[in-house]
Amino acid sequence: MDMVGRARRWIPILVGLIALAVYLFTLAPGLTWAHNGSDGGDLIASSFVGGAPHPPGYPLYALLGRAISMLPIGSIPFRYNLFSALAAAGAAALVAWAVEESGPLPALAAGLSLAFAPLVWSQAVIAEVYALTALLAALIVGLSLRRKPRPLMLGAALSLGLTHHLTLIAFAPLALQACVIWAKEQSTRTVVARAAIGFSVGLLPLAYLPFTSSAPLGWGDASTLKGFWWLVSAELYRGYAFALPRPWIGQRIASAARLLADSFTWMGVIVGLWGFVALHERDNRRAINSLVVVLALAIFAVGYNTSDSQVYLIPALVVFAVWIGMGWSSLRSIPISARAANVARGGLAVLMFALPAFMLARNWSAQDLRADRAARDFVEGVMNGAPPRAIVATSDEHHTFALWVGVFVERRRTDLAVVDQDLLGYDWYNARLQRGFGLVVEDAQEVDELARLNPGRPVCRPTGTSSPWLACGDK
């Protein structure tokens, strides 16, 4: 193997290590609400106690997070933040691997462009599911675009993606096209059988969900078929899909376009579009299917009626980063005179280094969470100020999930009962209140009913995000 070939092999590892180092230097030290990370408390607490986080249950995240929580490094919330950093760094490494055959410098530029994109970086330093989503998306893309047939791995990657986040169904056309191409090189029966076996294996994390029903904390009751489907199909949130009011659609499309430019700079966008054209000239079917992935994810993100729907664009950014690598490679291969070749290639090499470096410098301060304390201060304030055996009634998921961490993970005040007023009344949630907090619930629909059923337990409500943290009364 020549020197260039050896360099190509090491580039994905180098990209992963650089990305991980940056993430570690900017990682949130504990529980955080930054970067729309309020769900982090739910993910940490539910995973840690063996429950299922909010729909669709995220079984792969819950299992891997629980394993990483056993590492003897920092606090437990810090370990879940570290999980995100590892996943995002892995995604960047896999993007470099996906375009490795284009050359070491284009692969390096592609991987680091994804790593330092603000949206990806923001999810790499908090406890959230989207770094793992990026990792699975990058694995599917890499396996689909590489020349060597790997139908077993691709089938497993696609189904693992589906068990983790349903939006990764958008990658199915790209994966299927790869299997069609491989079937022409090998026997169709072999490719189909291996892809089917891999797909079946990748569904195994779903088998974990029924066991979460007995945990003291978590969502749904997956021990029944109806409850299982309610959880994995994300029925609770289905009404948000394609529900954005029409007057806002234009604004949301413009916001998505700005996000792309903010992610890679306008130069990166141009190079990425050039890379798509180059891929189309070389393999038009794979190019079209990669475009279908990006457009499908964009349509879903634009139409999803929540304020943080941009996170659903992260897998699309993975594909675009691959296009960037191909774009740089294509620009290097433009035929020019021998006299100008060295100057042009040297200039392109400088740009390939300069663009990720510029992104790193520009985005550092906005993504650095080392000094973040808002969520931790809130938990400490409530834990220190709540009277014994208090029922802490919450109406904000930031408060609910953060307090779950304080009670179930850090175990600062196991006498407290955290009651989310918006969930009270769901059969599965009332059962969790009884199991996790020892409350008498019966058919309580309101906190006042719950207080009457549990005399001697004062009711407190968070007042906000500053002291005094709680307002308490007899009810």
pLDDT digits (tens, 9 = 90+) for 262-308: 999 999 999 999 999 999 999 999 999 999 999 999 999 999 999 89
pLDDT band of 67, cuts 50, 70, 90? very high
443 and 344 co-located in one domain = no
Mark whether 192 and 331 lie in a shared domain: yes
| Ramachandran quadrant class, 36 (left: phi over 0; alpha: psi -120 to 50; beta: rest) | left
Q: Which of 367, 395, 418 is the last residue of a domain?
A: 367
Of the listed ranges 3-12, 325-334, 387-396, the one predicted with least confidence: 3-12
When comparing pLDDT for 185 and 176, which is higher? Answer: 176
Nearest CA-CA partner of 68 in 82, 57, 87, 54: 82
- Number of domains the chain contains: 2
- Residue 393 sits at φ, ψ, to 5 deg, of -90, 120
Q: Is 447 found in the same domain as 303?
A: no
Beta strands at 459-462 and 470-473: parallel, antiparallel or unpaired: antiparallel
Same domain, 223 and 148: yes
Please tell me whether residues 301 and 397 are part of one structural domain. Answer: no
- pLDDT digit string, tens, across residues 116-173: 999 999 999 999 999 999 999 999 999 999 888 999 999 999 999 999 999 999 999 9
CA distance 435 to 354: 56
Same domain as 295, residue 347: yes
**214 and 69 together in one domain:** yes
* 450 shares a domain with 357: no
Query: Please, are residues 141 and 98 in contact by the beta-carbon 8 Å criterion?
Result: yes
Find out whether 45 and 217 touch, Cβ atoms under 8 Å.
yes
Asked whether the beta carbons of 79 and 71 are under 8 A apart, the reply is: yes
Phi, psi of 392 (to 5 degrees): -95, 105
The full length of the chain comes to 475
CB 260 within 8 A of CB 320: yes
H or E stretch covering 419: strand 417-420
- Regarding whether 289 and 252 lie in a shared domain, the answer is yes
Same domain? 380 vs 358: no
Q: Give the residue numbers spanning the domain of 406.
A: 374-473
Closest to 429 measured CA to CA, from 42, 14, 4: 42
Final residue before a domain boundary, out of 314, 342, 367: 367
Which pLDDT belongs to residue 348? 86
* % of residues, the chain, pLDDT over 70: 95
Element (H, E) at 392: strand 391-394
Question: Do 410 and 346 share a structural domain?
Answer: no
Tokens found for residue 169: 């169904």
Are 147 and 165 within 8 A, CB to CB?
no
Under 8 Å between Cβ of 427 and 220? no
Looking at residue 6, its pLDDT comes to 65
The strand pairing partners of 310, in sequence order, are: none
| Mean pLDDT value across residues 72-86 | 97
Considering the domain architecture, whether residues 401 and 317 belong to the same structural domain is answered as: no
Provide the residue type at 375 as one letter.
Answer: A
Contacts of 153 (CB under 8 A, 6+ apart): 143, 198
The domain boundary residue, chosen from 326, 343, 367: 367
Model confidence at 2, pLDDT cuts 50, 70, 90, reads low
